[in-house]
Amino acid sequence: MAIGRARFGGRHLSAPVKSGPPREPPRPAPAPPPWWRRWLLPVGLAVTALLLLVPMFARPSPQPLSYSEFLAKLDAGAVTSVTVAQDGALQGRLTDGAAFTSQIPTALDPAPLTAQLRAKNVQITATRDSGSWWAVLLSFLPLLLLLAFFYWTGRRAQGALADGVTGFGRSRAKIIEAQRPMTRFADVAGYEGVKQEIGEIVDFLRAPDRYASAGAKGPRGVLMVGPPGTGKTLLGRAVAGEAEVPFLSVTGSAFVEMFVGVGASRVRDLFEEARRRAPSIIFIDEIDAIGGRRGGHGRIGDDEREQTLNQLLAEMDGFDQRSGIVVLAATNRPESLDPALLRPGRFDRQVVIPLPNQAERAAILAVHVRGKHLAPDVDLLMVARATPGFSGADLENLVNEAAIRAVRADRTTIEATDIDAARDRLLLGRRETSNALLPEERRAVAVHESGHALLAALCPHADPIAKVTILPAGMALGATEQLPEAERHLYHEGYLTDLLTVKLGGRSAELLVLGVGSTGAANDLAAATQIATRMVREFGLSQVLGPVGYATSAPHFLGEEPDEQPHRPYSEQTQQIVDREVGRLLREAQDRALAMLREHETQLRDLAELLERQETVDGGVVLDVLAGHHPGAPTDQAAAGDR
């Protein structure tokens, strides 16, 4: 299921504004760098290129001659001048103006050559070094560039040391002033209790005298806990919009760096900045990045994270209560936080932000459909009823997917079919039109889904049937959708028994009509086994095991991966009893499903044939088939189309 960010609607809270202590003037902005600094690198590259290329193109390269060729030219009188270097290198010109180079063998006596040059009236010049000043400059150029680089980095380090540990110790918090318009509580739909509890913090910062007159102390910290996508960060932004005080926002990962001590330095700088701007609010998003349990696991980075956490604990417990600083944090992993961080005096309150209920989902949908064109057949209450377990971010994604589907159909109006298709895409996956089933597979899927649908309509405690389809989507070859009539918080034994019966209805229908089972019931069997296991091991619904409950593990919002060999708080003999009871519950549910389907075998076959023809039918058609109406009638066919 997609996780994202949700926007909600609600009421706007207001309170009288009280002036706080005088604030210090803000820090002066650093002076901008000189204009010539940006041109240092391109000018240096251009000069280097000129030094390398100009000597190559300044004059034509001289012709290299061997010593024998040079002597032949000299005997012929074709040499006009030569320059002799100390190492025996020769450079000269011929009578036609061409330049040449050669090398005098060091083992030969130069006296005969000198006499021969004089005899030919050749102008002789001696030089101490054969290289040019270009070569000397180029040889020192890498060293000069290296020295310039070290000088530049040294100057930057000296400037950074004035701000902290090489510039990394400064806090990276975003400071939002009171005059800046932000999200308000009116943009948060539902969660009235949560907004009221967080609104007390805003009211305390605005009017601390009201609480002081009654001897009440304002909270130092509030921890918002909830599954991903429920709007914790959105509520933090709403607090920034409602509180007419500075709001310092930072994420937990912004404190941790590769340098030891940087995180603690940033925590100190953050609280110093908050004190200068008091009264103020510090918002730390994803605080579990630095607030995890201290255990010394020996992993890289644990020492730095623990130092950061220790500094945070000291700052939250040490700053003056009258300074008007409140720490607001959000996390979806409260079980991983250190107990010292959760004690009173640091985080005094824990506000749980659960998944929205049906009424809150309808209010959230009303916020997300603002500015969109809805068809008259769209009922937001029905959509909210059809999306149990959806978070605010999931509902936002649902509306967006429906709008995308409407655009693909060249429409600007979102219809009910668009929302239904978007919901199926989020729950089942994208529908593949090219994923065609074989005729025998199509028949098996139709029988399987018909078994689920009929038992959902026959079981008294099962949720009502909404739609049945045999169109493949994602990993599912078909789907039977049930919509709960109301938001359930407690499940009795009759509901769980009917749930097992419906889960095994597809396999029972295959055994009854086709005579054999198939792999299509794998997911149903896994889900039914999990439900039966919890009924026996956790809910105490086994007469053999008795009223004993063994919880599997502590609840986790993110669903951590279980260990390969989880620790069981009971013996192997108890595990054998659990296995026998789970098997008994599943066999009884399958026998019950087979018995109910045998009584309505004609309706089962009729519904399977109808699904093969129309591929998708709604819950009303299933009830009509169960009542004995002929499924092939035109009125029934018209009613059995996609909603």
pLDDT higher than threshold 60 for residue 9: no
Domain ranges of the chain: 59-131, 174-352, 358-428, 439-639
Q: What digits encode the pLDDT tens for the residues 69-121? A: 888 888 888 888 888 877 777 788 888 878 888 888 877 777 777 777 777 77
Q: How many Cβ atoms are within 10 Å of 220's Cβ, its own excluded?
A: 18
Q: How much is the mean pLDDT over the chain?
A: 76
Q: Which amino acid is at 25?
A: P
In angstroms, the CA 581 to CA 590 distance is 14
244 against 72, higher pLDDT: 72
Q: What digits encode the pLDDT tens for the residues 428-473? A: 777 665 566 788 888 899 999 999 999 999 999 998 888 888 887 7
In angstroms, the CA 235 to CA 420 distance is 29
Q: Which of 180-184, 459-463, 629-633 has the lowest mean pLDDT?
A: 629-633
pLDDT-above-70 percentage for the chain: 75
Q: What is the pLDDT of residue 448?
A: 93
pLDDT higher than threshold 80 for residue 618: yes
Q: What is the pLDDT of residue 21?
A: 38
pLDDT higher than threshold 90 for residue 333: no
Q: Is 449 a catalytic residue?
A: yes
Q: Order across the sheet with 174-176: list the strands.
A: 174-176, 247-251, 280-285, 325-331, 221-225, 349-352
Q: Which amino acid is at 347?
A: F
- H/E element holding 352? strand 349-352
pLDDT higher than threshold 60 for residue 166: no
pLDDT-above-90 percentage for the chain: 13
Q: What are phi and psi of 354, to 5 degrees?
A: -80, 180
pLDDT higher than threshold 60 for residue 352: yes
Q: What are phi and psi of 451, to 5 degrees?
A: -65, -45
Q: What digits encode the pLDDT tens for the residues 539-582? A: 889 888 888 888 765 444 444 444 444 567 888 898 999 999 99
pTM of the model: 0.62
Q: Which of 286, 401, 449, 581 is catalytic?
A: 449
Q: Which of 142-146, 375-379, 581-585 has the lowest mean pLDDT?
A: 142-146
Tell me which CATH homologous superfamily contains domain 439-639: Peptidase M41 (1.20.58.760)
Task: Report the CATH architecture of 59-131.
Answer: 2-Layer Sandwich (3.30)
C-alpha radius of gyration, the chain, whole number: 41
CATH of domain 174-352: 3.40.50.300
Q: What is the pLDDT of residue 341?
A: 83
Same fold, 59-131 and 358-428: no
Q: Is the peptide bond before 279 cis (omega within 30 degrees of 0)?
A: yes
Q: What digits encode the pLDDT tens for the residues 35-63? A: 666 676 677 777 777 766 665 555 567 77
Q: What is the pLDDT of residue 66?
A: 82
CATH of domain 358-428: 1.10.8.60
pLDDT higher than threshold 60 for residue 163: no
